Chain A
């Protein structure tokens, strides 16, 4: 299991770079992860999505898919793609320090 150091703390990640232990995440880590994902600066809109991802994860056991995110986060899908161009659900989950959203089968 790979580990990575963000703001002087070791965290456990899966092969794709998602946190396996969301409790290891702190808000200070988010901008660092975002930069790795090609997002130079996190705006308040980014944070709205990141906080929503975490609260969904802790209440439901999985982060939401893009479609659910568009319906429930208060940020429409089009804008989600502007905020997280490489795929909102995946990238926001990475930055929010939660496992890859399960999606469906």
Chain B
């Protein structure tokens, strides 16, 4: 039983079906709707670089033959009874459960965020409707202060708010009004990014592009009409247009399922085997876990083969392999047709060099090639990643060849 038909759930279902082609394993994916959203595309919608309609495909069509799709919201999981109760009234028993329901946006947790001014002066690009509304607002924006606010971690794709700021710089240049727009990046972190070397590189880029950074700003209240962000320690950032990346939590049913999740609704998970800490027959893939890996599609992809391998071992009563290393791979769009690439895991922070080997895409450095890589990824996503195939040259374990590790390695944030 796989809860969630997004990136992790879909690729897990398809990989499992291939590992168990016979009838000994029945695979069902449950999701509340049939719209699979290509989430990396959301970043491009506000700038008119992607159309909302092009980012969506039916969930059930991404699943291999022999995977059942059950459309219903989830009410709760009863871990003791190995049963999932659905909002449509059905109760589905399972032998193995995979939690793949990702992370939700918790707009209501920030006071005033969806109050007066929401959708006019205050926006988010983390949902399809939000990104589309923001496209209209940006097109009408003729000058003033644009604030990009990352309220607090964890969030999906932690580099996306930075990419938004970079693209906004490019967008206003292109419109010829960059000198009339002040761009400010407001973050709860003590730097632009959590990892030291990467933080240095990205902070340099922000400075080069004239983007002001406000750090350790923990947003307590958004006053949309007045155009003010107020932090818990009572600092104020004024804005004419705010783009807020809201707090995230696990899917709401996790909180209704005793013993499954933590205080934020994420599922405590063994970081190397991907088995949940709640029950041995519950596994977790993607953003739904509490792992210290990024909440990103590449992580779900790299987790895929470890997850399926360990479910096979669990069903055969074998000891699980502790082989997931936290591998993450992200393109960071930096505007003007360029992007950076970072590749890291639990222990090795993003460094410079090349990927995947000594020859390849430049790491932690702006290049046209990385931008093309990011654009090409959309097709790879639908045709290789979701079907659960391995991507050539992109292994689950992080490659070390090509990485420059002589740069001082500082502790992770």
Contact = CB atoms under 8 A, between A and B. Distances in A.
A14 B264 CA distance: 29
Interface string B61-104: 00000000000000000000000000000000000000000000
Interface residues of A, number: 17
Interface in A14-71: 14, 65-68, 71
A16 to B, nearest CB: 9
B153 A104 contact: yes
Grouping DSSP codes into helix (H, G, I), strand (E, B) and loop, the B interface class, with mixed when no group exceeds half, is loop
Given A67-B152, A68-B263, A78-B220, A105 B293 contact: yes
A103 B292 CA distance: 8
A68 B154 CA distance: 11
B231 to A, nearest CB: 8
Given A66-B218, A77-B220, A105 B194 contact: yes
Contacts, number: 49
Contacts of A104: 153-154, 158, 194, 292
Nearest to A68: B263
Interface residues of B, number: 23
Interface string B146-168: 00000011100010000000000
A103 B194 contact: yes
B233 A81 contact: yes
Interface of A: 14, 65-68, 71-72, 77-78, 80-81, 85, 87, 102-105
Given A102-B292, A105-B153, A105-B154, 6 more contacts: A65-B153, A66-B232, A67-B264, A77-B218, A102-B412, A105-B293
Interface of B: 152-154, 158, 188-189, 194-195, 216, 218, 220, 232-233, 247, 263-264, 292-294, 328, 411-413
